[in-house]
Amino acid sequence: MIKNTPNIILVVLAFFAIYFIWGTTFLANLFGLEGMKPFVLTTFRYAPAGLLLAGWCYIKKISFPGAKDIKVLSISGVLMLVCGSGLIVVGQQYINSGHAAVVTATEPLLFLLLDKKNWKTYFSNKWIITGLLSGFAGIVIFSYFTTGDNFQAANHSDVITGTILVLLSAVFWVAGTLYAKNNTTAGTSNIANVAIQLIAAAVASAIIAMFLGEWKSFQPQQVSLQAWAGLLYLIIMGTLIAFIAFMWLVTIKPPAIVSTHTYVNPIVAVFMGWLMAKEELVAIQITGLGMVITGVILTGIKK
């Protein structure tokens, strides 16, 4: 547990990382998929980042957590980064980056649904109920009016498949976050904790890629420069900077405050997808996006 008041500049920079940088990683995933299968991409994203952080801890003589915490961190790392972020990459084979970001905006709503201990408090609050209904209705509207004509999806069923996969990823991300927060011993190094999570996620991703036969189809010489650039961005910006910032923020700020990144990520992702990948967006989809963000905001209103 951090006893000293955190530096306000570091806090601002950390929030910028999870607000803006994470909003751009959806587009980076899209670029990476041009030459790599989903779990090959996630393996290459997490392995170098985890090893770099572990090496840094070794050089700086930063102590690693005990066996109990390593187990907790490994499980949470797989839940958040493989079943969570990894499934987003899988889903982005069917839907575009802006669509994926809009679906992940439901994370604060899922925090409410998965936090069983506080269900009585949550569901006696009319604003939370309204927010949940608005958020998930927004996802339905956004997905229904995504035709897939401007993307890889061949038909509307593919759009539904992608939406479900990304929604499941959000469930796993929330479950992993809550598991780590509730079971990790206070006082352990954030850098060492993240290193363990990343290495566990890389190993799990590599094994899944092997069972799915993704390594057999991986041809480095056929990977485009844009795909390599997307991967490099995911390693440095999406993982080494933004994920570390997120894991640090959840130790010093309430999860509800940290999860406000989901207000901004879809807007950034939709804009970047339109600007750099020519992803189309119709007015009714903007309405759906607005309903999701409104729902997330409403769930934060107290009685």
Supply the pTM of this predicted model: 0.82
The set of residues, in sequence order, having a beta carbon less than 8 Å from that of 54 and lying 6+ positions away, is: 192, 195, 196, 199
Residue range 46-61, pLDDT digits in tens: 999 999 999 999 999 9
Q: How far apart are CA 247 and CA 258, in angstroms?
A: 10
Residue 2 lies inside a defined structural domain of this protein: no
Say how many Å lie between the first and final Cα of the chain, rounded: 30
Residue 252 lies inside a defined structural domain of this protein: yes
* Mean model confidence pLDDT for the chain: 85
pLDDT at 160: 86
Which of 261, 269, 244, 252 shows the shortest CA–CA distance to 111? 261
Residue range 133-152, pLDDT digits in tens: 887 888 778 777 765 444 44
pLDDT at 24: 94
pLDDT at 121: 72
Residue 1 lies inside a defined structural domain of this protein: no
Q: How far apart are CA 8 and CA 13, in angstroms?
A: 9
Which of 154, 182, 170 shows the shortest CA–CA distance to 251? 182
Residue 214 lies inside a defined structural domain of this protein: yes
Rounded to 10 deg, the angle between the 97-104 and 156-183 helix axes is 40
Q: How far apart are CA 194 and CA 199, in angstroms?
A: 9
Which residue segment(s) compose the domain that 50 sits in?
A: 8-298
List of the chain residues with pLDDT < 70: 1-5, 117-118, 122, 146-155, 186, 255-256, 300-303
Residue 303 lies inside a defined structural domain of this protein: no
Residue 277 lies inside a defined structural domain of this protein: yes
Q: Indicate the number of domains in the chain.
A: 1
